[in-house]
Structure 1
């Protein structure tokens, strides 16, 4: 069974919008998932982008307000919790920052510098053992970073580890790096558009680790997007990281319960996981969504037929 996705770079760039606009994704839009959907009155992507703008202006209170709004849509998002942690740190609310970074660290899409940020907070608070634990965790992540992890991710983890190591080795009275501005640059929306187009080309070339890095940059720029999460799930599946793919598809469907691509691909993932009944549930959902038929419904039906 093969997974096919082809989207031209030009189409991707045209489809990628600004705050609140959808991106073009493999399989198009549509599909229901197991997570509750986001209220149509909420716009987590707009809130995220407003948070980044406030953060860049050092308006930390407004950044916190906006990132908290975005987090209500995706409470477990590594990217959103990381951004919120940076905002809390800038406002001097280190306990809340630590909690946000800890939540980010539990997510598959956490920026590589998440544990660097945690370590710097622990150093500032005099919790050296906790900072060393973050250093050890980074070393373990680097050791586990294989071909599916990718060179870019490995380099980011190494840079975070090296910076935390230097901070731990510095004298206690030495000035420490400001965690609010350390380890992560928030790209602007135009950079996000370019990263998305890059990701499309990399996926079409089956360069999936690099595609995930480009998609992470897209997400950092534009915020929550069902299309980007769908792509992240697709690339993760191709790398054999099925649990991560499941999480991305569920997040995509939380944002957009009518996302055709994520609905189809979640069904395909269930087949890979040996859960044929769940795949049939996804097919039934596509029957509801595709009143006049659609390619996603037919493709998932073929997968199920081959698996039976």
Structure 2
């Protein structure tokens, strides 16, 4: 999440995790079965460790933060937020060699994450890898060039470029701890962010919804409901690869998540994978049987697809 001053905001709220229950997560994703997206709890909830890590980071307990974020990325290696915060925790401990790996993965899994590009550049500079630091500097300058007048990231990009340039000048001479430029806030409205995102999806305002859901993801960590709706909104924008990755992430945490199973099945139909959609339907039928809204909706999609093909 970004504040007006360009800093990344990690909103930590156990209220959001508690609130994302079947009764709370309503709205049906703006065109799915109309039912609740989440009816089954994950066997392991990485969002809990994410919150523990955020709390430890805020308290300056970086070794404890590392332990928590390592558990999160162990379960969700493609989660850019947790990879970034793991790298940031190592940076604060002056362990730049260990920071490099997760920060590299954060950039890989979210190539628009300005903070990760900035900090990866700083890490490389401190390790004496000037060429690699310059790669991140160049990437930031490309983002700045593409950031038109009025672009909300303009100041953040300018500051990030200046910090990487300063790190390159200092090089390995300044190997002290670096606390990345993150503003960690305790938020009382984190749960409302998710509700607002669902409302935006129902109004088909998908770009705005993705921004809200991204904020909620930074706040709560990898929660299957948030990931499912991110998949749905991206799918509606024809960002099929991104949508698939979010659905897969949701099902990694909660394999019986009915909303993710339905929407992922619909995505497979849109991509011509009828057999894959039918496999999702069979899974839903085994989970909730007769009268299951998600199964009914996916069954209708499969029937309509067959009719259109004939």
Q: Bin the TM-score by the shorter chain.
A: 0.7 to 0.9
Does the 8 Å contact 1:45/1:224 carry over to 2?
yes
Cα deviation per residue 1:171-200 (whole Å; 9 max; x = unaligned)?
A: 824989975322x43443534213212212
Give 1:140-155 correspondences, 5 Å limit.
140=142, 155=152
Which residue in the other structure is 1:62 paired with?
Answer: 64
Q: Which residue among 192, 207, 223 is the counterpart of 1:209?
A: 207
Q: Shift in Å at residue 69 of structure 1?
A: 1.5
Q: In the alignment, is the contact (CA less than 8 A) between 1:82 and 1:111 conserved in 2?
A: no
RMSD: 3.2
CA deviation after TM superposition for structure 1 residue 237, in Å:
0.6
- Give, in whole Å, the separation in 1 of the partners of 2:266 and 2:218: 28
Q: CA deviation at 1:110?
A: 6.9
Summarize the Cα distance change of 1:176–1:218 in structure 2 as closer, same or farther, 3 Å threshold: farther
Distance 2:120 2:227 in 1: 25
Are 1:237 and 1:269, in contact at CA under 8 Å, matched by a contact in 2?
Answer: yes
State the aligned residue count.
281
How do 1:54-203 residues align onto structure 2 when only pairs under 5 Å count? 54-108=56-110, 111-140=113-142, 155-156=152-153, 158-170=154-166, 172-173=169-170, 179-182=178-181, 184-188=182-186, 190-203=188-201
| 1:227-242 equivalences in 2 (<5 Å) | 227-242=225-240
**2:36 aligned partner:** 28
Q: CA deviation at 1:249?
A: 0.1
Q: Alignment partner of 2:152: what SS?
A: helix
- Unpaired segments of 5 or more residues in structure 2? 1-14, 30-34
Counterparts of 2:158 and 2:78, CA distance in 1: 27
Q: Which runs of 5+ in 1 are unaligned?
A: 1-14
Distance 1:43 1:17, change over 3 A: closer
The TM-score with structure 1 as length reference comes to: 0.80
